[in-house]
Structure 1
Amino acid sequence: MYEDDFAFGSDSTELIKLLESDDIQPGITAGYQTCKTIYLYHPLGGKMVDRPVKMAMNEPRAVHVAQAFGLEQRLRDAFEREWKALNANRHIANAARIARIYGVSAVAMLVDNQSPDESLDYRTLYKHNVSFNVLDPLNTAGSIVLNQDPNALDFQRVEGIRVAGKPYHKSRCVVVQNEDPIYLAYNAAAFGFSGRSVYQRALYALKSFIQTMRTDDMVAAKGGLLVTKIQNQSSIANSVMQKLNGIKRHMLKRGKTGEVLQIGVQDSIESIDLSNLEKPLDSARNHILENIAASADMPAIILNSETFAQGFGEGTEDARSVAVYIDNIRGWLEPLYDFFVRVCQYRAWNIEFFRSLRADFTEIEDTYSVYFSRWINNFEYRWPSSLKEPESEKVKVDEIRFKAIVSMLDVLLPQLNRDVENRAALVEWACENANANEHLFPQRLDLDFDALRDNPPAQPVQNEPGGGMML
């Protein structure tokens, strides 16, 4: 290990210079460099930014394409392959991270041999190589300032970005802000009238947290300190007695488990008493963490790293609070997902993919445009539930739902034998609801409802009053 690795003898670190400054007071503005320093060096800097996003994106969303009949699995596989090839989850997480650090971020899409300031033709996107750059406010400074004219059509809206003097059309980029912009509220970290950093309100509390770390370090350093009371043989401490006491202290310092140390009757040895510090230290630390969490509008349990007393899915108030918070984070991520979903759909479900489907499914008769419009209109990208339940409980819920569907069919189907339109609509409704019960039926049931309409069931045989039979 080299001495330069620790920069011995250098000035204080960036974080100490920042958080020991007397200028840090409640309500102070957090600038770009301040936010960067806190994220890089503060123990809670990364956790405040990354932990909520990781919890929200912990489980992937499920792809569903309704009314796709036997094509859904092929559509789903193609979409997920392209999603993985684009590395979309990583770009979304990076954009969310930067937005929470500084208040705003942008994702810009670059396409081979195309100018970024032109409108993007999504229909030919599959023919080109694409890449994505996640940009922070320093990269886009001067372009995401937002119009503050309340009579303008683009009032506090982003109409595109500019990176190093090069404009990007709004079809090639997406901008995400942490919290909505406030009228005429300038954000120094984002260089514009935009959202705010998660550190903005918590800056003073983050400074206080460093003091608790120093106190912990002091307690850890003093925890092994031993205090000895040695009875002197005379009131005059001559050099001989000082040497004798020094030998005793040296033997005490070197003593370890399994050895015997002899001391005088009047001598005593005890450790330093730090028990009185435990309660006030814990109380102060918890209050500071709660202040930081309140400032960032997040549940304190996420920062405390405490375990859920009854588990995350068993109805505790902490679990419900965190589940609501995670759902809000997922809603905030929707614009990023919508941007990548559109790119992925056009690239995965292109005309060449459609031709391969037509070769395998001869019943496909309509044009590519008709099918593609149907697929994107019936596309669903569902988040898993934030509040986890045991699998047995999920099966019970699906079972109750399925019994309700069967009861509805038992009541209505006999009355709709001659009404083919409503009968087909009822069967379609039952199939869609049954397919939603994934814990009972892993494989979806896809029926041809047009064929069901064209082939009504035979009418039941009834007895004529005169003894004859009729259909």
Structure 2
Amino acid sequence: MADDIVPGAAPSYESCKTLYSFHPLGAKMAEAPIEEAQSQEREITIPGAPEEDLISAFNREWMAIGMTGADEIIRGLMTLKRVYGIASLGVGGRFLNGDDFPTNEPLPYERLHEMEVYFNTWDPLNTAGSLVLNQNPNAPDFQKPQYLRVAGKDYHSSRAVIALNESPIYIEWTNSAFGFVGRSVYQRALYPLKTYVQTMITDQAVAEKAALLVMKMKSPGAIIDQRARNWFGLKRSALKGAKTGNVISIGIDENIESVDLKNLRDAAEFSRNNCVKNIATAAKMPASMLYQETLTEGFGEGSEDAKIIARFIDRMRIEMNPAYRFMDQIVMRRAWSPEFYKTMQRKYAEYKSVPYETAFYEWKNAFTATWPNLLVEPDSEKIKVDSEILKAAISAVEVLSPLLPQSEKARAAIWLAETMNERKLMFSSPLELDEDAIAAYEPVAPETEPKPIVESSHL
């Protein structure tokens, strides 16, 4: 079976496609890390701006762009990168009159809201010849992708993002990617992937023998004639047709038992487990992601397996950041269009005299998207942390309050209320205070009690 696959053999483009399409672990090795990394949404903040409106418009466009959503587009790029060693994502634009914007010109970001944009993901065969990478160590573009050509069309660098799986090695040709580029996730794991198929053949053989029954029958004599053979055949047929609820009779010296496969179990499990571990080691990914087993304690409990997976996913998210930055710029331009800005001007008076470009770049520069921690703390632990934070805030206000004028006391009260409102698990309803009313409040001076008149006897 696949005698040409030996330790150290490199997969071809066609081999990688076959492994991804048909091998039981092929899709999991390529897709599982991406799906795990995208299992949480990024946390977006735009300080100093109408954050709720901007984030809502951004998310709507993010989910609708390219007819599949930006997450699916990025997932396709990163999956192909892991399958072949390199992949590319390009964006094209088509005006409403049906004319395509030339692909060799810079992407007109300021006109994206006027265009129908589309995204194409290319594998190494689509871009063959343009992503070989320069091997001159003194060249400025040494082992760096500089330009992209697909089916005779050049794509400007602003219109594409190129993703490599691992860094290129000097004069190390990658068969699956047609260049001196990254390597397929299957490259080091090719031989153990072959072994895994052999374990499946073992599973099939065991499954075929698992229900086999052996009937030990006493021979009637040294010579077996046709009548004896017919009798034995009749008894075998009776055994074969027997089901739960039936009764069959056998001789005193006869016996029926299943094939004993107990000695095979340990060897088969040992081989399968080692094979999966070897594949995971070769692919630089946690073996538990290939086993498809539920973590004993889960991500919230911080088990060692969960920590290993979390570190691996953090690394995957770093590799995905260039693709996300590429999509962020396009989505921002389309979501925060001039038409959208007009609604913001009507809603917020402070933007009526601010030009669109000025406001857009303020929002763009303030835009921040961060990944949440994969190791999510349980609510019980979050409440403990919130409680300590709240105690510290109350203590700070109690210490400062006697030293502050009334206007500053109002600011301190508002700060404390905001701190409390951020603790969603502790307070379901927000505390709203009027800062002006607190600042204008004058404490009522306590009434002085009249002093008793003491008569002196020396008058």
TM-score computed with the length of structure 2 as normaliser: 0.86
Q: Are the counterparts in 2 of residues 148 and 183 from structure 1 also a CA contact under 8 Å?
A: yes
The alignment status of 1:340 with 2:327, answered yes or no, reads: yes
The alignment status of 1:354 with 2:341, answered yes or no, reads: yes
Match of 1:61 in 2: 42
Which of 261, 273, 277 does residue 264 from structure 2 map onto?
A: 277
Q: How does 1:313-324 map to 2 (within 5 A)?
A: 313-324=300-311
Counterpart of 1:51, as a letter, is: A
Match of 1:80 in 2: 59
The alignment status of 1:186 with 2:178, answered yes or no, reads: no
CA distance in 2, matches of 1:435, 1:367: 34
CA distance in 2, matches of 1:210, 1:441: 55
SS of residue paired to 1:131: strand
CA distance in 2, matches of 1:148, 1:443: 63
Which of 91, 94, 104 does residue 76 from structure 2 map onto?
A: 94
Q: CA deviation at 1:50?
A: 1.0
Counterpart of 1:367, as a letter, is: P
Counterpart of 2:87, as a letter, is: S
Q: Deviations over 1:65-88 (max 9, x none)?
A: 1122xx111101110111112111
Q: Are the counterparts in 2 of residues 122 and 346 from structure 1 also a CA contact under 8 Å?
A: yes
Cα RMSD (Å) of the superposition? 3.0
SS of residue paired to 1:282: helix
Distance 1:383 1:441, change over 3 A: farther
Which of 249, 253, 256 does residue 262 from structure 1 map onto?
A: 249
Match of 2:136 in 1: 149
Match of 1:10 in 2: none
Distance 1:90 1:427, change over 3 A: farther
Q: Are the counterparts in 2 of residues 230 and 266 from structure 1 also a CA contact under 8 Å?
A: yes
Q: CA deviation at 1:408?
A: 4.6
CA distance in 2, matches of 1:437, 1:149: 57
CA distance in 2, matches of 1:199, 1:281: 24
CA distance in 1, matches of 2:399, 2:297: 43
Q: CA deviation at 1:427?
A: 10
SS of residue paired to 2:349: coil
Q: Are the counterparts in 2 of residues 417 and 459 from structure 1 also a CA contact under 8 Å?
A: no
> Structure 2: 5+ residue runs without aligned partners?
95-99, 446-459
Which of 372, 376, 392 does residue 384 from structure 1 map onto?
A: 372
Q: CA deviation at 1:148?
A: 2.0
Q: How does 1:388-403 map to 2 (within 5 A)?
A: 388-403=376-391
309-318 or 287-296: bigger deviation: 309-318
CA distance in 1, matches of 2:361, 2:431: 22
Q: CA deviation at 1:204?
A: 0.3
CA distance in 1, matches of 2:92, 2:422: 38
Which of 235, 249, 263 does residue 236 from structure 2 map onto?
A: 249
CA distance in 1, matches of 2:171, 2:151: 25
Q: Identity of aligned pairs, percent?
A: 42
Counterpart of 2:197, as a letter, is: I
Q: CA deviation at 1:27?
A: 1.1
Q: CA deviation at 1:133?
A: 0.4
CA distance in 2, matches of 1:416, 1:373: 39
Which of 250, 271, 294 does residue 281 from structure 2 map onto?
A: 294
Distance 1:94 1:414, change over 3 A: farther
Distance 1:185 1:441, change over 3 A: farther
Match of 2:109 in 1: 122
Counterpart of 2:61, as a letter, is: E
SS of residue paired to 1:313: helix
Q: How does 1:21-60 map to 2 (within 5 A)?
A: 21-60=2-41
SS of residue paired to 2:45: strand
393-402 or 149-158: bigger deviation: 393-402
CA distance in 2, matches of 1:43, 1:359: 56
Q: Deviations over 1:327-350 (max 9, x none)?
A: 111111111111000101111112
Q: Are the counterparts in 1 of residues 417 and 432 from structure 2 also a CA contact under 8 Å?
A: yes
Match of 1:235 in 2: 222
Q: Deviations over 1:189-234 (max 9, x none)?
A: 1111111110000000000001100000000000111111111222
CA distance in 2, matches of 1:427, 1:166: 63
Q: CA deviation at 1:380?
A: 1.7
Match of 1:6 in 2: none
Q: Are the counterparts in 1 of residues 407 and 440 from structure 2 also a CA contact under 8 Å?
A: no
Q: Are the counterparts in 2 of residues 160 and 173 from structure 1 also a CA contact under 8 Å?
A: no
Q: Deviations over 1:21-46 (max 9, x none)?
A: 22211111111001001111111101
Counterpart of 1:117, as a letter, is: N
Q: Are the counterparts in 1 of residues 407 and 439 from structure 2 also a CA contact under 8 Å?
A: no
SS of residue paired to 2:249: coil
SS of residue paired to 2:71: helix
Q: Deviations over 1:393-434 (max 9, x none)?
A: 2233234334444545555677786999xx99x999989987
Q: Are the counterparts in 1 of residues 406 and 440 from structure 2 also a CA contact under 8 Å?
A: no
TM-score computed with the length of structure 1 as normaliser: 0.84
Q: How does 1:204-219 map to 2 (within 5 A)?
A: 204-219=191-206
Counterpart of 1:260, as a letter, is: V
CA distance in 2, matches of 1:126, 1:442: 40
38-47 or 116-125: bigger deviation: 116-125
The alignment status of 1:158 with 2:158, answered yes or no, reads: no
Distance 1:255 1:192, change over 3 A: same
Counterpart of 2:359, as a letter, is: Y
Q: CA deviation at 1:440?
A: 5.6
